[in-house]
Amino acid sequence: MEDVIPGPATDFGDVEDPREIVQIWVVDALICNLDRNLWGNVLLKLGTRTQRYRLIPADQSDCFCGSTVFADGSWRSRMERQPAVGIELLTEAVAASGGASGIQVAIEKAEAAISQLGKAFDQVPGSWWAKTSIKPEEIEAALWHRARALPNLLSVEKWGTFNYGEYDGIPIL
């Protein structure tokens, strides 16, 4: 893409839609992506309505707990215990997106995406599935299992043990 710059955004006022931050965080938690905060793993595109940025998640190479874990087959058990990785500007984004209800909306969108996985899997050559000894049904089952755990895993009430105050009712960690 020619009209983007590497991110992540470093100032909340630069983000056009805070729900994008929450959605990226929820999907990253779902797929156990570990490196979203690395420079360039979010692209910034100037919005059409404002002079703020739309966010485009890029580089999912460390999903399923990382490429080594995915390759050695231990991803299934690691996904069971992998905590959600934070993302830049998350506290402000959750607050601006409605708190727990905004997180729930993002979880529902992620679940809708899981429902469409079969279409994506159909485009992967059968030889790849055979070579990797991974069954698409295993991936889908693991993602559904993880999706069921997301409301508890991403619960605002469980955001750490340090309380530095609140922002519109959301704890600042």
Cα gap 26→86, rounded to integer Å = 10
Find the domain containing 99 and state its range: 4-157
Flag whether 10 is in a domain.
yes
Q: What is the mean pLDDT of each run of 10 residues along the chain (173 residues)?
A: 88 94 95 89 89 89 88 90 87 89 95 95 92 89 95 78 52 53
Flag whether 118 is in a domain.
yes
pLDDT, position 116: 95
| Number of domains the chain contains | 1
Q: Pairing between strand 166-167 and 53-57?
A: unpaired
User: Domain of 149: which CATH number?
Assistant: 1.10.1070
Flag whether 166 is in a domain.
no
Flag whether 40 is in a domain.
yes
Q: What is the pTM of this model?
A: 0.86
pLDDT, position 164: 45
pLDDT, position 137: 94
**Closest CA relative to residue 142, chosen from 30, 29, 23:** 30
Flag whether 172 is in a domain.
no
Helix H or strand E segment including 22: helix 18-31
Flag whether 138 is in a domain.
yes
